[in-house]
Amino acid sequence: MKRCDICPNNCLIEHSICGRKAIIDENVVESTGVAVDPIEKKPLYHFMPGSETLSVGGIGCNLKCLNCQNHSIAQPVNPSFVPIRTFSPEELVELTLEKDLKSISWTYNEPTIHPEWIISTSKIAKEYDIKTILVTNGYTSKKTLNDMVDYVDAVNVDLKSISDDFYRDVCSGRLNDVKNSIEFYYNNGVHTEVTNLLIPGYNDSTESISALCDYICSVSDSIVLHFSAFYPQFKLNHLPSTSEDTVFKACKTGKATGLKHVYPGNTHSSHDDNTYCGNCNDILVEREYYTVKNYINEGKCPTCGKNVENFVF
């Protein structure tokens, strides 16, 4: 019996956990929805800030998170009931050009379960200087990472916890494969941002947050880290939301650990998620929800003139 090598699950091809079919046509992208989103919503804060991106969603996921906020498409009870629209890679690129966008984001479900579609679309997108973005759980095999890396410009990897037990119990996955993906993307020059969703009682202890920050810092202190607030979802509907205080404390911990860029996400009250100059502390990028003002002037701080690092424009 043949096994699938796309992700660490190594399923029998006919019985995939993610719902991937046995035969995939690289020229027929099966989508559950296409939308134009601010790139900050992915979230990516240091990649083409203030731009909009063409978001493309698919169906299925190789993890089974109890708190999945897109479970209707990521873990559908009956996949054949989910409305699908097909696009050729050319059509997706045409749509991006029509809307005057500079990037395509593979998002909403886990995109890397169909690397064929990412690669075939990116090959055409490259001809028009359209960038390829993945919003991914990072639960990806080394083979798939190698196959995709030349076709991916930026990623946001969801690092759900720094505990392997959490991955086993809440997500039906393993931590090490996700760490491997973060390191792989970063070390291969893909712009890498990481999101951690803080779930009350599950991964929001001081020790857990510290250990996660230490890990990211050990890969690079310039990786952008987003701490995001949880809202009751799906099979964790009985839990409270994350307090804003917990999110802000986590951000403080990240900065104290030495990470240069840590941002709060999914919080309601007015919070500071601006980027400041590391040299003179003046404001470089001002963000209020999805309204973005970019003061960076030809790659330099407008006040002190120092080169701004860790941004892709």
Q: Which of 120, 301, 308, 311 lies at the binding interface for Zn ion (CB under 5 A)?
A: 301
Size of the site for Zn ion (CB under 5 A): 7
The answer to whether residue 304 forms part of the interface with Zn ion (CB under 5 A) is yes
Work out the end-to-end distance of the chain between its first and last CA atoms, rounded to an integer number of angstroms: 47
Q: Which of 12, 149, 280, 312 lies at the binding interface for Zn ion (CB under 5 A)?
A: 280
> Between 90 and 282, whose beta carbon lies closer to Zn ion?
282
Q: In this chain, which stretch among 12-20, 36-44, 208-216, 273-281 interacts with Zn ion, using CB under 5 A?
A: 273-281
| Interacting residues of 118 by C-beta distance below 8 A, sequence separation 6+ | 106, 111, 112, 132, 134, 148, 151, 152
Q: What is the rounded CA–CA span in Å between residue 191 and residue 310? A: 9
Q: In this chain, which stretch among 12-20, 146-154, 235-243, 299-307 interacts with Zn ion, using CB under 5 A?
A: 299-307
> Between 142 and 255, whose beta carbon lies closer to Zn ion?
255
* Least distance from Zn ion to the Cβ atom of residue 305, Å: 7
The answer to whether residue 279 forms part of the interface with Zn ion (CB under 5 A) is yes
> Between 166 and 295, whose beta carbon lies closer to Zn ion?
295
> Between 69 and 279, whose beta carbon lies closer to Zn ion?
279
Q: In this chain, which stretch among 46-54, 199-207, 239-247, 297-305 interacts with Zn ion, using CB under 5 A?
A: 297-305
* Least distance from Zn ion to the Cβ atom of residue 150, Å: 35
Residues that bind Zn ion (CB under 5 A): 277, 279-280, 282, 301, 303-304
